[in-house]
Amino acid sequence: MRAVIQRVNNASVEIDGKIYNTIKRGLLIFLGIEELDNQEDIVWLSGKISRLRIFNDITNVMNLDIKDIDGEILLISQFTLYASTKKGNRPSYIKSAKPDFAIPVYNEFVNQLTEDTGKIVKTGIFGSYMKINLENDGPVTISIDSKNKE
């Protein structure tokens, strides 16, 4: 699994010209899933994100996690996180999991992140064309890959 996490002041997802979900201060997470992902990846990545200390404390040091600030979470599926650009100029998405595999894994990740954070995890609609609006705070953007554990 690959995640790109952005610390945001607010974010929203628009589908078919209508706002589908919105959050205030918190995390906007883009999640890519590959066929090799399993329960271990789900648990590890969710735990890492839920404990990620990227919010400022009173001394302006990034020392707080999403629970500490009572922040919100918006999780968006994004198969393009597994784009390969080794050959030519058109990215290949061969490593991205197909929907029949990815949707249950995505749903399980939502459940795990909800459990780990104690927060409602808002989402878009898997596989839909979505417009994401955000105000990045910092900017702070973190990329995590469960296979590299970094």
Judge whether 54 lies within some domain: yes
Total structural domains within the chain: 1
141 counts as catalytic: no
Residue 99's domain spans which residues? 2-145
From the list 59, 80, 85, 117, the catalytic residue is 80
Written as tens digits, the pLDDT of the chain (150 aa) is 999 999 999 999 999 999 999 999 999 999 999 999 999 999 999 999 999 999 999 999 999 999 999 999 999 999 999 988 888 898 989 899 999 999 999 999 999 999 999 999 999 999 999 999 999 999 999 999 999 987
For residue 30, give both structure tokens.
């883009």
Amino acid at 133: N
State the CB neighbour count (10 A cutoff) for residue 96.
Answer: 21
Judge whether 97 lies within some domain: yes
DSSP-derived 3-state class of residue 28 = strand
Bridge partners of residue 19, in order along the sequence: 14
Closest CA to 66 of 15, 27, 11, 107: 27
State the CB neighbour count (10 A cutoff) for residue 5.
Answer: 22
Residue 61's pLDDT is what? 97
Task: Give the CATH number for residue 72.
Answer: 3.50.80.10
Residue 11's pLDDT is what? 98
Residue 94's pLDDT is what? 87
Judge whether 44 lies within some domain: yes
Residue 55's pLDDT is what? 98
CA distance 87 to 53: 37
CA distance 113 to 97: 20
Judge whether 9 lies within some domain: yes
pTM of the model: 0.95
Judge whether 150 lies within some domain: no
For residue 106, give both structure tokens.
């995505």
